[in-house]
């Protein structure tokens, strides 16, 4: 009888050791799974962050391209001469310009208008690129209605320069001011700067205006 009790005791000890071993394995497996899930969650957050950044860059690039296309269409269709004959078709300086824009049925612009572009301060050292359009009405007494639109917001600065003969008898050159009444410049360059943390980019933009009317 005592020998039988000793065998039962040894069997019980072996069973307890096996259970402890299984419990340890389960803990190790659980820790490994938890670590794997943690790694996957961190990677998911990183991928989501990169995706959001890529989406922001794409949206910024699309916004910039739309403004560049708009400026090409606008400044590329200058009127051949100003309606009243005394003002220049395009008058500009380094920080803004004003131009007479010809009618264009394709662009749903039925009448000549004056469009101005300038950087308008918005506070904190930032600017908005604002376009202002004023239709020129031929009927006496018709009121002129102006429309303003922010083309690009939160820019660091904007600059313009003009290529053409600044006066009769002078060779074409890049100048910071344009005000000839007898012709428009051959080219207008528009430069826009963004802040260091801004992901948008603006390559130099050259717009052919048509030159000599």
Task: Tell if the pTM clears 0.75, that is, is over it.
Answer: no
pLDDT at 74: 87
Stretch (H or E) spanning 94: none
Per-residue pLDDT tens over the stretch 24-39: 777 777 787 877 787 7
CA separation, residue 34 to residues 23, 26, 39, 45, 48 (Å): 16, 12, 9, 17, 21
The residue among 9 and 73 whose pLDDT is bigger is: 73
Q: Which residues of 1-38 are buried (b: 16+ CB within 10 A; e: fewer)?
A: eeeeeeeeeeeeeeeeeeeeeeeeeeeeeeeeeeeeee
Going by their DSSP bridges, the two strands 113-123 and 126-135 should be labelled as: antiparallel
Q: Which domain holds residue 180?
A: 1-213
pLDDT tens-digit map of 101-156: 877 665 566 667 888 999 999 888 899 999 998 876 543 344 456 788 999 999 99
**Structural domain count of the chain:** 1
Mean pLDDT of 43-67: 62
The Cβ-side half-sphere exposure at 201, using a 13 Å CA radius, reads: 3
DSSP state of 124: T
- More confident call, 134 vs 52: 134
- 82-108 pLDDT, tens digit per residue, is 555 556 788 999 999 998 887 766 556
């Amino acid at each position: 009888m005592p020998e039988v009790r000793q065998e039962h005791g040894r069997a019980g000890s072996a069973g307890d050791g096996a259970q402890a071993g299984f419990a340890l394995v389960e803990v190790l497996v659980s820790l490994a799974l938890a670590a794997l899930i943690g790694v996957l969650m961190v990677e998911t957050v990183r991928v989501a962050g990169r995706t959001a950044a890529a989406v922001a860059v794409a949206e910024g690039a699309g916004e910039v391209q739309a403004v560049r296309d708009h400026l090409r269409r606008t400044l590329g269709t200058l009127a051949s001469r100003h309606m009243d004959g005394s003002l220049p078709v395009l008058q500009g300086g380094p920080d803004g310009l004003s131009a007479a824009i010809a009618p264009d049925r394709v662009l749903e612009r039925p009448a000549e208008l004056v469009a101005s572009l300038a950087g308008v301060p918005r506070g904190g050292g930032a600017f908005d690129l604002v376009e202002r359009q004023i239709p020129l009405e031929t009927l006496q007494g018709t009121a002129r209605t102006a429309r303003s639109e922010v083309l690009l917001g939160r820019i660091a600065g904007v600059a313009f320069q003009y290529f053409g003969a600044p006066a009769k008898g002078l060779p074409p050159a890049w100048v910071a001011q344009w005000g000839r009444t007898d012709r428009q410049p051959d080219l207008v360059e528009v430069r826009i700067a963004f802040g260091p943390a801004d992901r948008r980019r603006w390559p130099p933009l050259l717009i052919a205006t048509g030159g000599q009317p």
